Amino acid sequence: MILVTGGAGFIGANFVHEWFGCCNQGADGVVVLDKLTYAGNLGSLAGVADNPGFRFVHADICDRATVVGVLAEHRPPRGQRDSRPDPHPEEKAIVTAAPELADYVAGLKQRSRKVVTLALRQLLRLVREYPREALLGAVREAGHYGLYDLDRLERMILRRVTREYFLLDRESDDD
């Protein structure tokens, strides 16, 4: 469930339409909380009002009791959240770009100290920014030792890049 405050205003309504249209099809549910002041127009939500995942609450965000009630009503019971049925988009992008990293990604999801999404985003950044051979070599070494600290992995990649690309030929005497 997502809560959109001011969702009947211009920006909020466009966000809600976008959310239902392309991002999620409203599977998680969208609750729009709006006071309907001068900027709010319930008509701006007409295109999504019939969606079963949509709910409108006419209330002020400053009304603590109402907000707490709405959140409590839409919160799944503790420990009963649906697990993500499909892989993270970042995971898909990583495995598409470098299929060799599939085992490392699985280990990262289990052993990372970071939130999984943040860890996957960081790994995806490494895949996109660094040369493939240096990345794969560092990941092989890190996987061998069970290392899932991505900051350290990046230093390992940089060491390989430095060694492979920036060392001068030591035999030349052109100084």
Residue ranges of the chain whose pLDDT lies below 50: 26, 175
Indicate if 6 and 41 belong to the same structural domain: yes
Q: What type of residue is 3? A: L
Sign of the CA dihedral with 147 first, then 151, 152, and 157 last: positive
Mean pLDDT of the chain: 84
Last residue of a domain, one of 13, 44, 74: 74
Do 60 and 117 lie in one domain? The reply is: no
DSSP state of 51: S
Number of domains comprising the chain: 2
Evaluate whether residue 79 is within a structural domain.
Answer: no
Q: What is the pLDDT of residue 171?
A: 58
Are residue 69 and residue 111 in the same domain, yes or no? no
Residues 107 and 51 in one domain: no
Does residue 175 belong to any structural domain of this protein?
A: no
Same domain, 49 and 95: no
- Using a cut of 0.75, tell me whether the model's pTM lies above it: no
Asked if the structure places residue 84 within a domain, the reply is no
The pLDDT > 70 percentage for the chain reads 84
Whole domain around residue 137: which residue ranges? 89-166
